[in-house]
Amino acid sequence: MALSESQAPPDAQHYLVCGTEDCEKNCQFYCNDCHQPMCEQCRDKHQKNKKTKNHEVVHYKQRKRRIPVEKCKIHPTKDIELLCEECQIPICSKCTATKEHRDHVFTDLNIVFAEKVSQYQEEIDKIRNYFEPVSQDVKMEIAGDVTEIKKIMEGIRTAMGAEAESVKRMVDAVTSDNIEQVNKIEQLSLETLNGQNQEIDDYINYLNDLIQTFYGYLSPSYIEQITFALKSKSLNIRPVPETSKPVPPVFTAGQHSKEYVAKLLGIITVPNPKAENRKIKPMETASTQLKSTGKQRKQDREKSDVKQTLSLSSSATKVREYTVPGVDRLFHISLGKSGRLWVSDWNGNLVQTDIQGNQLQKIQTSSEDEGYHTVTQDGNLIYTDKRNRIINRRTPDNTITEFIKTEDWTPLSIHSSHTNGDILVGMQKAGEPSKVTRYNKTGTEIQNIQRDNKGQGLYSTPHYITENITGDVCVSDYSKHAVVVVNKSGQHRFSYTGQGSRFDPYGICTDVLGHILVCDAISDTVHLLNRDGQFLSLLLTSQKEVEDPRSVCVDDENNLWVGQRWFTNAVTVYKYLQ
């Protein structure tokens, strides 16, 4: 939709239309005398016209802003066009003759307005290039702190639980020992009492036998025995055996309280309750940053200009092709600076080549046929270690360091964002739906994408991953036979499942126009989709000299690089935009 000059933001000249009557071409220039936007053709006519050939015509970005037309309240027929320097109020030309402004100095309001516009533009640039980015950095840092504080608190909870379990085990052990001691005391006491009881039983039997004997003496038939008993001096009956009463143990309850238990289990403290202020980049560096960001904005505008002119070609044209040495069945490619390419195979070989296909470096990794490596904005190679569940970073000086630990999740695919340096990782874990985790460029976890709004798992095998210019996260999932796309917030947008027959997506990438390009392992083709998942065409097929494509990426010159798996290990470069 065309915008009028008043509607247009400062950098929106590509969307303005020429102000010349009956001309609807894009505005690129501006006449400061006529205050009229115009296209290149109308500018040429304007400068050839005798009446306007001396007008100042500049690029639209360099135009002098026109002051708003406003009538003087004292002289309603006159426009306000001057600034009284003494009174600092805008006036019309007729006001200069009044006694209120006698002998005052006046300045053309257009000049003042232009100066103010320039000042405000500088302030806008400061806001855009310093205050907003710094605020976004702080916001990102806060998000990282949120993740970190959650991680720390979860660690504390886990430690507290472990401490409680340890104390429980000690309590159980002590209780078990005490109960065993009580059992032994009880056993000894019962054995003593049972012995005493048996001794009394034996004594009672002895008494019964003695009674029987005495009864025998009383019988007439045993008169001789009675005579013998009478001759005896005395009758001796054994005394009752001595026994002792048991002494039971006494249980003394432990002396404990909530405070004692809390001390036993550990306490939570904040070492330094005074929070440290976040470091904000000082404004003194703003001028340097403005220059660099200004250069970046210029490059962005140039890219935007290119986008305005780019369109799909009727067919893809081969630019060059070479075979990659040192790999067995090419599966994934990552393009770095100066056209240098990282290529991996199904045996974990990761090889860097130049644009002629000469091998420069080789790394043996534990990963295989996934999109498990990527090159960051600053030229670092990042790749996954499936066996140890970590992500390694390799700097341009060949230093390899452990960058991110994925704990009990196995990292499959990885992509470094071209817009903000975020790192997207596709992961699997037994018994859990697979997920995509977003880290910032320092390796702090800031987002997990795992389920749709119905609670269903989004992914099964996220083995290739990329990000579109819209911020959408695009994942090839061959177990789901689909390309699964979510927005930057993690909300499911759509899933592309091919063109009717079975679809096994592999390598995936996007371009400057938001197209999605994905390899299909079944049909040996590269599908071209728009940013909303609508199928546009089979960009490459086996009839177009591509055999078993497995990986794709687009370079800064909008060329498509295709890695082919079987036999040839070929990387082919195509031009498909014009």
CATH number of 310-577: 2.120.10.30
Q: Where are the domains of the chain?
A: 13-62, 115-229, 279-309, 310-577
Of the candidates 219, 210, 217, the one whose C-alpha atom is nearest the C-alpha of residue 240 is 210
Of the candidates 464, 490, 467, 494, the one whose C-alpha atom is nearest the C-alpha of residue 479 is 464
Please say whether the beta carbons of 361 and 400 come within 8 A: no
Reading the block at residue 274, the tokens are 């005074």
Of the candidates 422, 424, 426, 425, the one whose C-alpha atom is nearest the C-alpha of residue 440 is 422
Of the candidates 457, 445, 459, 355, the one whose C-alpha atom is nearest the C-alpha of residue 405 is 445
Cα maximum dimension of the chain: 179
- Write the burial class of residue 334 (CB in 10 Å: 0-12 exposed, 13-18 middle, 19+ buried): buried
Collapse the DSSP code of 462 into the 3-class scheme (helix H, G, I; strand E, B; otherwise coil) and give the result. Answer: strand
Phi/psi zone of residue 266: left (φ > 0), alpha (ψ -120 to 50 degrees), beta? left
Cα(467)–Cα(509) distance, integer angstroms: 8
Record the pTM: 0.52
Cα(105)–Cα(407) distance, integer angstroms: 74
- Write the burial class of residue 103 (CB in 10 Å: 0-12 exposed, 13-18 middle, 19+ buried): exposed
Fold adopted by 13-62: Double Stranded RNA Binding Domain (3.30.160)
CB atoms within 10 A of CB 273: 6
Per-residue pLDDT 10s for the chain (578 aa) are: 444 444 444 444 345 788 888 887 888 889 988 888 999 899 999 999 988 989 989 888 777 777 788 999 999 999 999 999 999 999 999 999 999 998 899 998 888 887 888 788 888 888 888 888 888 888 888 888 888 888 888 888 888 888 888 888 888 998 999 999 999 999 999 999 999 999 999 999 999 998 888 787 776 665 666 666 556 555 688 899 999 888 888 888 887 778 777 777 777 777 666 777 777 777 765 455 555 555 555 555 555 555 555 778 778 888 888 888 888 888 999 998 777 899 998 889 999 998 888 899 999 998 888 999 999 988 899 999 999 999 999 988 888 999 999 999 999 999 999 888 899 999 999 989 999 999 988 888 889 999 988 889 999 999 999 999 988 999 999 899 999 999 988 889 999 999 888 899 999 999 998 999 999 988 889 999 999 999 999 998 877 667 889 999 999 889 999 998 766 788 899 999 87
